[in-house]
Amino acid sequence: MRRSRWWTRDLFILFGGQWVSQLGNNLFDLALYWYVLGQTGKASSLGLVGVAVGIPAVLGLFAGVFVDRYDRRWLMILADAGRAAVAGALALLAAAGLLSVWLAVALVMLLTMVGQLFSPAFTALLPSLAAPDDLPAVNGAAAATSSLAGLLGTFGGGIALAALGPVLLFGLNAVSFAVSVASLLLVRLPGSGRPPPTPGGGDYLAELRAGVGIVFGQRFARTMIGGAVATNFALQAFNVLAAYWIRHVLHGSAFAFGLYGGAVTVGALAGGLAVARLPRDVSPLRLVGLLIAVVGAAMAAIGLFPSLAVSFAGMFVMGGAAQLATTKVFIELQRRVDPSLHGRVFGAFGSLAAASNPVGAAVFGGLSGLFPVGAIFVGAGAWVAAAGGSLARAARGAELPDTQTPAPVAGVS
């Protein structure tokens, strides 16, 4: 058997830069929610932040076409240069005492909008740097890299947040984007670095429809979109109410908030390392559905047993199961879709899957004024478990084999 040597110089540089960038993102997320809660003292204000982060995700639907048209590496460079500028402005305003909650929300929305080119470009870039048989290992390494950054960002960020406040963390996020730009400038791609010519004859709308058509034309992608929309909606309960849960329900400190986030990243790290060991003889839909059901059960347990220990354990389980499920979906799409269409497919898939995020953030932020946060967590967990069970049941029908040769244009299964 051939011993894989997928860990090339360029992947090492790429993952190194992304590790620093992800570290900055995690520091920023930790500081942002804590900062806004400190300014208002209301859980509903956290829902406003969640909406600001979620709304720009729809732009990924349009960004995917550009990812398939232009040099993916340079699109990533431009996106992170823009994010460095916005994050730097946010940090300077906070340091000067001029950062109101509404201004913070506006800048966060702009920061998220600028970054919409990055994720589909990154996912589409990986197959050009690795052999098809190495995709599980490479995607697992990418997930593990992100989780390691999250681990240090949340644990270290909790200490920094408690000792120094959020402004320093805002500034470090800007620096991390600059480091990402520098690393991307050093990455060498095969050939010109541009994706292959794409169908559509230069017609932007035709190319956009092609990406959406693939997502809804493939049974696997279409089914996963439904599951992702339902799951992401409920996960917003944890995204927007975590700071309130730790600070006002469990009476934890900023350091405890960092540990709470650290627990999910430790789980995600374990999940990323285990991706290459996922069984290939199990239906992908069934496997992803069962993993999502595990996420839901862990969510419900956190709400049912309000303690720091249960919260940490539940977040660990959620992080591991969610990482395994997400990475498995990306691997399947990378295998089933022609590389020339990866940008628009991942852009469309990501945007459609995240369509419910701002709705969930608004809904759960509003519900926090009517129901105890623990009860909201239990209900959200039951919702996610039901969504996972629905995906597992959907696998009973005919399904594509683990690999296939995609159609040249539509990639429809």
Mean pLDDT computed over 366-373: 85
End-to-end CA distance of the chain: 30
Q: pLDDT band for 297, please (50, 70, 90 cuts).
A: very high
Please indicate, yes or no, if residue 208 is contained in any of the structural domains.
yes
Least confident among 8-22, 115-129, 149-163, 305-319: 149-163
Determine which of 94-103, 191-200, 317-326 has the lowest per-residue pLDDT on average.
Answer: 191-200
**For the domain that residue 277 is a member of, what is the CATH number?**
1.20.1250.20
Specify the higher pLDDT residue, 195 or 374.
374
Q: Does 375 score more than 90 pLDDT? A: yes
How far apart are alpha carbons 72 and 122 in whole angstroms? 8
With respect to residue 228, please indicate whether it lies within any of the assigned structural domains. Answer: yes
Pair of tokens at residue 384: 């996610």
Report the range of poorest mean pLDDT among 25-29, 63-67, 370-374.
Answer: 63-67
Residue 3 in any domain: the answer is no
pLDDT of residue 398: 42
CA distance 346 to 72: 13
Q: What's the pLDDT score for residue 16?
A: 80
Tokens of 280: 């290939």
Give the pLDDT score at 59. 67
What integer is the mean pLDDT of 360-369? 83
Q: How far from 359 is each of 16, 48, 134, 310, 355, CA to CA, in Å?
A: 34, 10, 37, 28, 8
* d(C-alpha 78, C-alpha 86), whole Å: 13
pLDDT score at 401: 44
In a domain, 404, yes or no: no
Q: What is the pLDDT of residue 64?
A: 66
Q: Is residue 399 domain-resident? A: no
Token pair, residue 174, equals: 């800007």
The upper half-sphere exposure of residue 178, i.e. CA atoms within 13 Å in the direction of its Cβ, equals 10
Which pLDDT belongs to residue 123?
75
What was the pLDDT predicted at 304? 92
Tell me what the mean pLDDT of segment 199-222 comes to: 67
- Percent helix, percent strand, percent coil in the chain, to nearest 5: 80, 0, 20
SS3 121: helix
The amino acid that residue 59 corresponds to is: L
Q: Structurally, how many domains does the chain consist of?
A: 1
With beta carbons less than 8 A apart as the criterion, state whether 291 and 321 touch.
yes
Helices (H), 55-117: 60-69, 72-95, 101-114
CB 64 within 8 A of CB 344: yes
The pLDDT of 305-314, averaged and rounded, is 90
What secondary structure letter does DSSP report for 381? H
For residue 217, being part of any structural domain is answered with yes
Q: Is residue 1 part of a domain?
A: no
- The answer to whether the beta carbons of residues 67 and 120 sit under 8 Å apart is yes
Residue showing tokens 């993993």? 291
207 and 61 Cβ atoms separated by less than 8 Å: no
| 193 within a domain of the structure (yes/no) | no
Which residues, at least 6 apart from 106, have a Cβ–Cβ distance to it below 8 Å?
52
Number of Cβ within 10 Å of residue 287's Cβ equals 19
Distance between CA atoms of residues 396 and 413, nearest Å: 17
Domain range for 381 is 9-187+201-394
* Confidence grade of residue 300 (pLDDT, cut at 50, 70, 90): very high
Residue type at 214 in one-letter notation: I
pLDDT, position 404: 38
Instruction: Report the chain's mean pLDDT, rounded to a whole number.
Output: 76
Residues 238-280 have pLDDT tens digits of: 878 888 888 888 888 777 877 777 787 778 778 877 776 776 7
